[in-house]
Amino acid sequence: MNSFVKFGLVLAGYAAAVLAASAALEIRLLNTQGPDAQASAGMYACGDLLLFLAVLGLVSLFPTGLALYFLRHCERLWTVFSLASLTLALIGPVAAAVLQSQRGDWLIASLLWLGQVLGAPLLALGFLVGTFLAPTRRTRWLLLASALIEGLVSAYVFLCLFVLQHWP
């Protein structure tokens, strides 16, 4: 299979992800027409955005995995990718520690933490996909560590929100 066909398959996968996210959003919009939606239009718009991004991110895991599979021979790319993944994964616990010490007054840490909260489950899945596709032992371990850190961030947020019932 030549490079153009591979690129076309990955691009078609991302196009399918956009279509799936658009379809999910359209179904939600059709089911949320009424006075409640009109009264809280901003809240519904935020929910629509989060739904679109969640479906897009989840379905995009497939073409991303396919692209990573096609790029298995590029060891330098995998090294950079695994180190960047670990760095990104470590932002969550660091931001949480800064927020605890500053009592939430530091805006940059708050924004980083919010990004981690919203993206941690999806990043954990993405890093796990990368773990299974990584060509070398070192990159597999780094990606697995990244997936575990993001999984712990997700578990912490779930514990805070649904068990302790307060925002972290």
**The two three-digit tokens of residue 134, written as one number:** 């990584």
50 with 96, same domain: the answer is: no
CA distances from 32 to 27, 36, 38, 57 (A): 9, 8, 9, 23
User: Domain tally for the chain?
Assistant: 2
Residue 71 DSSP one-character state:
T
Phi-psi region of 104 (alpha: psi -120 to 50; beta: other; left: phi over 0): left
CA distance 65 to 121: 16
Q: Are 83 and 163 found together in one domain?
A: yes
Q: Are residues 101 and 19 in the same domain?
A: no
Q: Where do the H-state alpha helices sit in 32-136?
A: 35-39, 41-70, 75-102, 107-133
Domain region containing 41 = 1-70
Residues 90 and 148 in one domain: yes
Return the residue matching tokens 């605890």: 100
pTM: 0.83
Does residue 51 sit in the same domain as residue 133? no
Out of 9, 41, 70, a domain closes at 70
pLDDT at residue 136, rounded to an integer: 93
pLDDT 10s digit of each residue in the chain, 168 long? 898 999 999 999 999 999 999 999 999 989 888 787 777 888 888 889 999 999 999 999 999 999 999 999 999 999 999 999 999 999 878 877 776 666 656 677 677 777 777 788 999 999 999 999 999 999 999 999 999 999 998 888 888 878 888 766
